[in-house]
Structure 1
């Protein structure tokens, strides 16, 4: 096993915002070429990889902010809270309301290439906010030293566009926050994304193994 960096992340809480991997409700842009049940299985694998990565990061609390119901894919060690109503900006803002007073970082379920080392190495004390841009123009991570500020800084940001990330990042800077930027990662949205991400996943990745099995079966 690769040794993790010695840096201790400053976050008190790590949040994962996710949707229950139900066929027809998740990863619909993977169909075609994948069937809805295959897309859901890939989503479950990506979520499972993400949850197990978060388990390896030394923080006080780990919270799954879930649209749907937990399944056998959920490991122990997580609190589960439901997502709020409204658009994604409202749901992200509301997720931070479940945090303690200490710093908190939220990640999504679409970057199974994420590793504990990446999170730990990218974290530096002294920041007011953390921002992880996504290759498609969105973001895969967002954090606040004071989670109570999330509401004003996230609500109203247009989500799911190729300008979402820059707009959110500018909101943080315009508020006078010292922002620490995390590496750019690619979300799994399309089949091409899935292949690119799988090639970047660490050994033992459930997502990479699932995609490889589907690719082999299609030959």
Structure 2
């Protein structure tokens, strides 16, 4: 078994779920504290999926400090400096062999959705696996041979980020296979749609709880 065909490293890039530091586009309608609770639930769902998926290593690339939400079995390394492209590049630079990176914004992710990029033969006819996001970004990126230069300089957080990143891969001569399209949780509308598609997640349960308390509060104030 070669390094290219062996088990992959699974990376999750995330911010510690602190009020005012995460999911700021959820405020309003949600408070910074509510947005942080939703971010924590989304991160917990993502880490659950990573723990249930086959991998050589499972690594959280974290901006901030780990908290009680961190489950056993996850290594933690700090994020690098710079813009998101530089931080993603640094995450891949710290790995050897096949590596798959996901974000914390898709709590609906499951081991089944990750499976094509993690299968034993995933790199037989692919050099990269790409998970497009509905907003034009990407939620997952797998590389058979991590190369930080494939990410450095790609414009991030734009409606064309996904297209630019995919073009960087194909422009380097890589054979790219696509994963399913998922929706990132950025806005309140995104949150509602993702929770509806994945009602059994911690994220959906936390969103339901927050919305229920808000409705009760509105009735009390009448």
TM-score of the two chains, using structure 2 as the length reference: 0.90
2:130 — aligned with what? 131
Q: Quick check: which has more Rg, 1 or 2? A: 2
Residues 38-117 of structure 1 correspond to what in structure 2 (within 5 A)?
38-100=34-96, 102-117=97-112
Query: Greater shift after overlay, 125-134 or 184-193?
Result: 125-134
Tell me by how many angstroms 1:122 deviates: 5.5
Tell me by how many angstroms 1:121 deviates: 4.1
1:144 — aligned with what? 143
Tell me by how many angstroms 1:217 deviates: 1.6
2:207 — aligned with what? 211
| 2:139 equivalent to 1:163 | no
Stretches of 4+ moved more than 6 A in 1? Answer: none
The CA distance in 2 between the partners of 1:66 and 1:16, in whole Å, is: 8
The CA distance in 2 between the partners of 1:202 and 1:177, in whole Å, is: 36
Query: CA 1:59 to 1:44, structure 2 compared with 1: closer, same or farther past 3 Å?
Result: same
User: Does the CA-based 8 Å contact 1:14-1:106 persist in structure 2?
Assistant: yes
Q: CA RMSD in A?
A: 1.3
User: Does the CA-based 8 Å contact 1:10-1:125 persist in structure 2?
Assistant: no
User: Does the CA-based 8 Å contact 1:115-1:202 persist in structure 2?
Assistant: no
Once the two structures are superposed, residues 37-77 of structure 1 have per-residue CA deviations (whole angstroms, 9 ceiling, x without a partner) of: 00000000000000011000111100100000000000011
- Count of equivalent residues: 207
SS in 1 for 2:203: helix
The CA distance in 1 between the partners of 2:199 and 2:73, in whole Å, is: 22
